Amino acid sequence: MGCTAQDVIAALRAGAAVVAEHRDELIQLDRAIGDADHGENMDRGFRAVVSKVDTAAPETPGAALKLTATVLISTVGGASGPLYGTAFLRAAAAVGDAEELDGAAVAKALQAGMEGVIGRGRAAVGDKTMVDALSPAVEAAKSAAESGEGAAAVLAAAADAAHQGVQATEPLVARKGRASYLGERSAGHIDPGARSTALLLSAFAEATRSRS
């Protein structure tokens, strides 16, 4: 069973809930190597997303993803708004007007989203950014999709891999973003963008599984 527009909207609501739950954690992670606004910005952005999709009621998964991109770009401050916004916008373009997304389409959307983030932020694996969570997530999603898994299983595989990627950021020295100004002092801390990426993927996976 694939993801319809209603499934995507349910996943977005779950994402907003998990961001709100972990808002303070994300603030603390960002305080260590950034400017301490990641949790607040993400919470504000996803609250706005939920409000907007409830009002607009997008009719396709792509429309829901595109609307999410627009809202995040306009409401999330710092680097996160453009990066997350670009990810959702590229994902929306990848799925087009399809009324339902299977596992392969979900993997394709994640791949496109990651490529958007890389293009926008000029980051690579090892730079201590959200790409360190997205890259293993995309690889796991593609592998699951190639094995014939459905949307929920593909998202679950992506989420598991993303959480491993988050832990891998801890010893890294940041080479991009505000954290890079700290040099060697950025080592020993988890990247907040990678953490929020993994949290969202887990929420999306659980919401999709519960509806399948």
Provide the residue ranges of all domains of the chain, joining segments of one domain with +.
Answer: 5-211
pLDDT tens sequence across 35-72? 899 999 999 999 999 999 999 999 999 999 999 999 99
Tell the burial category of 183 from Cβ atoms under 10 Å away from its Cβ (0-12, 13-18, 19+). exposed
**In the chain, pLDDT over 70 holds for what percent of residues?**
100
8 Å CB contact between 186 and 180: yes
**In the chain, pLDDT over 90 holds for what percent of residues?**
90
pTM, two decimals, is 0.96
Average pLDDT in the 113-136 region?
97
Model pLDDT, residue 164: 98
Confidence of residue 207 (pLDDT cuts 50, 70, 90): very high
Question: Given a cut of 70, is residue 1 above it in pLDDT?
Answer: no
Per-position DSSP letters for 17-58, written without gaps between them: HHHHHTHHHHHHHHHHHS-S-HHHHHHHHHHHHHHHHHHH--
Q: Which CATH architecture has domain 5-211?
A: Alpha Horseshoe (1.25)
Question: Given a cut of 80, is residue 212 above it in pLDDT?
Answer: no
Model pLDDT, residue 79: 85
CA distance readout (Å), 143 to 135, 190, 197: 13, 26, 19
